[in-house]
Amino acid sequence: MEAGGLRLCVFAFLCPPMASHKKFSLEDGAMSSVQKFLSEKGLDLPLEPSDIQEDWSLPFMRWVVQHTTSGMECQFQEDDPPGIRISTHRDIVCDPALYNLARVEAGRPTTHIVLGSNLARLDWVKALMQANKAIFIDRSLAGRAAMSQQLKLSRHIADIIQGGGHVWIAQAPGRTKDGIDQTHHGLLRMLALAWGGEEQGPAALKGLLRPLVIRYDVNPCDGLLIREKVTGEKTKRDDEISMRTGLEGWKGKVRIAEAPTVSTDVSGDRDGWLQLAAAVDKSILTLGVSGQWAASAASAIQTGNWTPLPDNMHHRAEQVIQQLSTHLGDMDRETLMRHLCEVYREGAPKVALTQN
C-alpha cells in the first residue's frame, strides 16, 4: 500500500462510527500496513473491531494525547443540543479528532465531520471514512454542480440534526495560515439552505450554531504552512504529509472550548450573513482561549520587533529554519519570523472586533 493510503487510513480511524454493513479488518491486504504502523506505536489493536470507535479510534487518539501533548483542557457548555459545531481550523486531523475524543471522555456522543474529498483519494479509504460518519465536500466543483452539492450537503446536515445528531465543520475552507480566525459567510449561507435560508436569511440558523475553539501551544505543521505560503505550491501529497505530521508532532498543551449558541438576530439581507459570520468570530475571540505564544506573536507583528519573543519560540524558529533550509531561498530571518508569528497569533478580523 502506498504511504499516502496509510496516512489516510489512520485518519479514517479518527472519525466517529456509524452503523455499517461493511466489515473492516487489519488483516486485509490494504490494512496490513496500518497494523504495522500502529504496532510500531505500541498499539496492538483488535484485527476485526466490533466497534471501530472503541477498538481503533479512541485507543489511537489517546496515544496521540499521551505521547504528543502535555495534556488537554476542555471547556464544554452545560447543554449539548443537536446542531453545528463551527470550529477554528489549525490541523486537518487533530481538530475534529481531539474534539471528538474530548466529547467521548465527557460522556457525549461524537459528531459527524465535514471533510474535503481530497482527504480520501483512495476508494477503500473513502469507504472506511464514510462508515465512520465522514461527510465529504468536493471543493473543486463550480457553477451549477457546486450549487447542487451545497444544497445536498445542507440537507444531509439538516437530516442529521433533526435526528438528534451533531456536525463538526471548519469555519472556512482550509486551515488558517495567517492566524486570523475568520468565518466564511458563504459557508453559513450554504448551511442554511435546507432550513429556508434563501427566504429567511440568517434567522434560518437560529439555535443551530455553536462556535468552537481549538488551540495548540505548538503547531507541528508550522514549517509546512510557511513553506506553502512562501512557495505558493501545494501537491496532493502535502495534505497527507500534514496529516501525519499533525498527528505525530509535538503539540504541547491543547485547549478546547465551546461558546454558547450564537444569536442570529441580525439583518435579513446579504449583510446579515456577514454580520452572523462576525458574530461567530467574536464569540470565538471572547472565549479568551489561547496558545502559549499567541499574545507574544501578535505583539511582535504589531511592533516589528522579534527580540522580545520567548526563548522557546526563538528555538522553534531555529527548528523551522533548519526544516525549510532548501525552500527559503533568499528569505531573511526577519521575514521568516513574521511568517512564524502569523502562524501563532490568534486573532479575529477587524469587523468582529467592532461587533456589538
How many domains are there within the chain?
1
Using 50 as the pLDDT threshold, list the residues of the chain that sit under it.
1-8, 17-21
Strand partners, 73: 255
d(Cα 84, Cα 169) in Å, to the nearest integer?
A: 7
**Helix, strand or coil, per DSSP, at residue 237:** helix
Each residue of 164-176: b (16+ CB within 10 Å) or e?
ebbbbbbbbeebb
Strands 166-170 and 69-75: unpaired
Are 259 and 330 in contact by the 8 Å Cβ rule? The answer is: no
pLDDT at 113: 93
d(Cα 126, Cα 302) in Å, to the nearest integer?
A: 44
pLDDT at 24: 59
pLDDT digits (tens, 9 = 90+) for 63-98: 999 999 999 999 999 999 999 999 999 998 899 999
pLDDT at 18: 43
d(Cα 251, Cα 253) in Å, to the nearest integer?
A: 6
Q: How big is the chain by its Cα radius of gyration, in Å?
A: 20
d(Cα 187, Cα 144) in Å, to the nearest integer?
A: 16
Q: What are phi and psi of 137, to 5 degrees?
A: -130, 130
d(Cα 349, Cα 231) in Å, to the nearest integer?
A: 25
Q: Containing domain of residue 142, as a range? A: 3-353
**Helix, strand or coil, per DSSP, at residue 354:** coil
